[in-house]
A and B are shown apart, each in its own frame.
Chain A
Amino acid sequence: ETGVTQSPTHLIKTRGQQVTLRCSSQSGHNTVSWYQQALGQGPQFIFQYYREEENGRGNFPPRFSGLQFPNYSSELNVNALELDDSALYLCASSGDRGSWTEAFFGQGTRLTVV
């Protein structure tokens, strides 16, 4: 089991609402990445934060935003929720921002938008 924890584990929101998901990275890791995994699909990269700054972004609209805090924990915020935002959201931490380091994933947050 990794040291990456996510909260909450499940939540249900109404279309148009806003949601905040949280991730606590593994001890010693300064980089957090967020992924969206729709049912039956592989995870899709949303963005990465390295030392409190966004370090790369996938093909997601601006209503997906994030923060990283001085202790390297992170939040994913999604505004104006749409039905298609229903998915498993995964957080991964790593010891460096580059792809050459191993990523460790949390258990995910299952978001359902109704």
Chain B
Amino acid sequence: KQEVTQIPAALSVPEGENLVLNCSFTDSAIYNLQWFRQDPGKGLTSLLLIQSSQREQTSGRLNASLDKSSGRSTLYIAASQPGDSATYLCAVGGTSYGKLTFGQGTILTVHP
């Protein structure tokens, strides 16, 4: 059974800092890994999708890496802004049908 863990559970940083969010998973037989952002009470916004054959993906100030063999992914956010404050979720797709297994998320607060 796939289990996904995110560390830290919460993070508070001053504006402008570079930061790293961590995600680990127990079963390395995955198709892909997605990072999502969730604002309070809202749905999920896809940030980055990394296929199992890829090592990283970049979008603007965001960079996600994947080390499938060690069961780890990191989301790097450069030059953080207050608007980045949200919950960040990672999810792995590892079955023949489209089930995503999610971590519990990291609550990020960026203060001015």
Contact = CB atoms under 8 A, between A and B. Distances in A.
Contacts of B100: 33, 35, 43, 45, 92, 99, 103
A78 interface: no
B105 A101 contact: no
Contacts of A103: 34, 46, 93, 98, 100
B96 interface: yes
Nearest to A110: B41
Nearest to A6: B43
Given A48-B99, A110-B41, A102 B49 contact: yes
B99 A45 contact: yes
A102 B97 contact: no
A55 to B, nearest CB: 5
A105 B97 contact: no
A42 interface: yes
A99 B99 contact: yes
Interface string B79-112: 0000000000101011111111111110000000
B43 A101 contact: no
Contacts of B30: 99
Contacts of B61: none
A73 interface: no
Contact of B96 (A88, A98, A101): A98
Contacts of B32: 99-100, 102
Most buried by A among B49, B98, B100, B103: B98
Interface of B: 4, 30-32, 34, 36, 41-46, 49, 51, 89, 91, 93-105
